Amino acid sequence: MVATYVGYRWLYYYGDNVFVNQIERWDAHVMTFQRHDEAKIIPQHRERRKRLLAAAAAAIAERGFEGVRLRDVAAECGVTTGMLQYYFASREKLLHAAFEHAALDQVAGWRKAISGKPVRGERLQVLLDHMVEEFSSPTTCSIWTELCATASRHHDLRPLVSHVFGEWHAIIREVVDDATADGAIRPAVPVDDAIRILVAAFDGYELDLASSSGSTNPASASQQIMQLADLLFPRTRRG
């Protein structure tokens, strides 16, 4: 699996063994690395680690980064805190890994949504449909909001946030370019400006929904995102 970050590196601990994501190359200001360690992890450990990270992410969504204790995650998984420390050297490393796991899964979901879609003009709508579905997941909205808030205090998380925003923009840009080339849309403003506006709207709605303020709901947020997309990327033909 390949991920792209700005100055980010992660260590995985397994007993006395430490596996490090090796840096492959510098590309301008962006660091690209390959997770060589995943091939070295036996399936049992890999699946257990995923369960621990999923439980940690759920705990972050429920209690916030500052409120999660190792014993909360251990109880959720039915393991001891010693088991957690076998995989992760500290509470902070566990929770940072949970943020990374959730964020990269979210990005992978965006890419999966548009993979195998041969009609170029349809990929934008498919991607938007997938992205607004996330509004119905309180955990997804809360994890993203908590990651951004935590990154303001834990600087080593900032590259992960930058990576997600970069992928958000790049994936939308890919399908917008496809739809434009197909003649399905004609952007109303410069494309990069339009995408920044759309991403900001997605980001704002996820924050609003995570706060449970009651000022919006998933259905309204989804409808308004689609209305905004129609204004930014008006269709030249209606299906």
Rounded to whole angstroms, how far apart are CA atoms 69 and 75?
10
pLDDT at 3 over 50: no
Query: What is the CA 161 to chain-centroid distance, rounded?
Result: 8
Residue 199, pLDDT > 60, answer yes
Contact present, 125 and 113 (Cβ < 8 Å) = no
Is the CB of residue 124 less than 8 Å from the CB of residue 233?
Answer: yes
| Confidence band for 207, pLDDT divided at 50, 70 and 90 | very high
What distance in Å separates the CA atoms of residue 56 and residue 64, rounded to the nearest whole number?
10
Report the pLDDT value the prediction gives residue 27, as an integer from 0 to 100. Answer: 32
* pLDDT of the residue at 41: 52
Cα angle for residues 47, 66, 13 (degrees, 5° grid): 35
In a domain, residue 113? The reply is: yes
Q: Give a yes or no: residue 198 inside a domain.
A: yes
Torsion, CA 175, CA 181, CA 184, CA 186, rounded to 10: 90
pLDDT band at 218 (very low <50, low <70, confident <90, very high): very high
The pLDDT, as a whole number, for residue 46 is: 80
Express as a percent the part of the chain with pLDDT over 70: 80
Kindly state whether residue 161 falls inside one of the protein's structural domains: yes
Cα→Cα distances 196→8, 83, 138, 179, Å: 24, 42, 23, 18
Q: What mean pLDDT is predicted for residues 92-99? A: 94
The reported pLDDT for the residue numbered 237 is 65
Is pLDDT at 174 greater than 70 in this prediction?
yes
What CATH number should be reported for the domain holding residue 15?
1.10.357.10
- Does residue 238 fall inside a structural domain? no
- Would residue 158 count as lying in a domain? yes
pLDDT mean over 75-88: 87
Task: Please check whether residue 239 lies inside any domain of the structure.
Answer: no
pLDDT, one tens digit per residue, over 29-81 is 333 333 334 444 556 678 888 999 999 999 999 999 999 999 989 988 888 88
Q: At what angle do helices 91-114 and 138-151 cross, to 10 degrees?
A: 130
Mean pLDDT of 83-91: 89
Place of tokens 């999966």: 112
What average pLDDT does the chain have?
Answer: 83
DSSP state of 212: T
pLDDT at 1: 36
| Gap between the Cα atoms of 223 and 127, Å rounded | 15
Range of the domain at 145: 2-232
Assigned domain for 237 exists = no
Given a cut of 80, whether residue 113 has pLDDT beyond it is yes
> Percent of the chain beyond pLDDT 90?
65
Q: What is the mean pLDDT of the segment spanning 144-173?
A: 96
Q: How far is CA 208 from CA 103, 212, 222, 224, in A?
A: 19, 7, 13, 13
Domains in the chain, number: 1
| Within-domain flag for 92 | yes
Residue 137 pLDDT more than 70?
yes
Using the Cα atoms of residue 211, residue 157, residue 62 and residue 103 in order, give the sign of their dihedral: positive
User: Which has the closest alpha carbon to 199: 162, 236, 234, 235?
Assistant: 162
